[in-house]
Amino acid sequence: MIQATIITIGDELLIGQVIDTNSAWMAQELNKAGIRVVRRVAVGDVWDEIWNALDEESKHAQIILITGGLGPTADDITKPLLCKYFGGKLVVDEGAKQNVINIFTKLKRPMIERNLLQAEVPDVCTAIQNKRGTAPGMFFNKDGKIFVSMPGVPHEMKGMMEDDVIPHLTKQFKLPVIIHRTLFTAGVGESFLADLIQDFEEALPPQIKLAYLPNYGMVRLRLTSSGFDKIQIEKDIEIQFTQLQLLVKDYLVTNVDEPMERVVGKLLLQKNKTMCTAESCTGGYIAHLLTSIPGSSEFYDGSVVSYSYGAKEDLLNVNHQTLLTKGAVSEEVVTEMAKGALQNIKSNYVIAVSGIMGPGGGLPEKPVGTAWIAVGSKEKIAAQKVFFRFDRARNIQLTAVTALNLLRQFILQNT
């Protein structure tokens, strides 16, 4: 199989100031095309480190993809380094120059010499025009290896990958198909699942691999196979995937690789219903997950984020006496929050959450990580207490995913 390695360049990646999302996205796209990513390397804006990374990574793969360091400032050294590495000299690419002029003209912004320098590329490369920015990408060939340099700006890099890089690589190489089938489960741990499907896993054909992918409150199971006979590969993997679904049916959420919020959204669309949220401890995170889905306005009406007692009383009609006697983190309060949200927002279904996410605020009877979740409709509200043992961010994420799953189960059980 054709192999690729990814080099990301930038001090900001190494100190954690910027999270490297480029590598993950690129790896997914390469995998879809039948190219296996064997290594991912991050280096700083240091000449020798970039040079050494190019030397080292070319030992491991036929394709070396590089992002970052193509901007107009002094710390962007990738382009002059590549020029020297491949033995060229910088020249103006007329297509890139016109692209820069067009962008600044459209934006009605003054253009300086530094901006025009973006149009320079090594004369030993093939320029990749940047339809989403000013810095062109570059194709190089050396000792039978393909090097591709692209901007580090994700939006610009993705445009080049989709429009130029992937089409070029699929034309250059005879690539196999890689087939994945993924399902995800909830309410069961990875170890229990491994015991449950041990015999299945041991009996898998050698060309089909099983991977466990645990995440917040759920475990994904992925079957993978590759080869050049797409029809046969799909047939073989489908037989195994059908059997796997039967084995985990009691915990199965979906047999498509998609997040919980999308599962809930699709379920609501299927039933032509809507939902709303009343959030305290999650601070709008559930609303964020739902509204990150394109078209979510078809099934999601809105949210009330009520952190204080006063907000719960004024916005969700929670009884003041209930708050005083039971506390905000209680079955009674989330039930009243849910009813208040349904009354005020007028959705078909609701999620309400209140909890103690940490690091402080815990009590002996309500330690950090405790949350109450209510889900339901005007006809029925169901509440459940949960407990998570992690830091604040992960406790919030787990509460949100658990709440969405509880609503999913409620809808299926009550329609």
109: helix, strand or coil: coil
105 and 219 co-located in one domain: no
* Euclidean distance between CA atoms 232 and 157, whole angstroms: 34
212 and 310 co-located in one domain: no
82 and 167 co-located in one domain: yes
Burial class (CB in 10 A: 0-12, 13-18, 19+), 375: buried
pLDDT at 117: 87
Domain that holds residue 235: 177-254
pLDDT in tens, 155-206: 999 999 999 999 999 999 999 999 999 999 998 889 999 999 999 999 999 9
301 and 330 co-located in one domain: yes
285 and 191 co-located in one domain: no
Given 254, 272, 291, the domain boundary residue is: 254
pLDDT at 217: 73
pLDDT at 209: 97
- For residue 12 the two structure tokens come to 């900001």
pLDDT at 115: 83
Angle at 367 between CA 280 and CA 365, to 5 degrees: 105
C-alpha torsion angle, residues 60, 64, 68, 69 (rounded to 10)? 90
162 and 216 co-located in one domain: no
CATH no. for residue 200?
3.30.70.2860
308 and 332 co-located in one domain: yes
CATH no. for residue 111?
3.40.980.10
- For residue 103 the two structure tokens come to 């962008």
Given 215, 234, 254, the domain boundary residue is: 254
* Euclidean distance between CA atoms 395 and 391, whole angstroms: 6
266 and 303 co-located in one domain: yes
Mean pLDDT by 10 residues, the chain (415 residues): 96 94 96 96 96 97 96 86 96 93 88 86 96 95 96 96 97 94 93 96 96 89 95 97 97 95 98 98 98 97 97 98 97 98 98 97 94 98 96 96 97 94
Q: Are 361 and 368 in contact (CB under 8 A)?
A: yes
Query: What one-character DSSP code corresponds to residue 308?
Result: S
- For residue 128 the two structure tokens come to 């990749």
Burial class (CB in 10 A: 0-12, 13-18, 19+), 223: buried
247 and 265 co-located in one domain: no
52 and 193 co-located in one domain: no
307 and 336 co-located in one domain: yes
pLDDT at 133: 92
Given 172, 199, 225, the domain boundary residue is: 172
pLDDT at 94: 94
Structural domains counted in the chain:
3
CATH no. for residue 387?
3.90.950.20
265 and 237 co-located in one domain: no
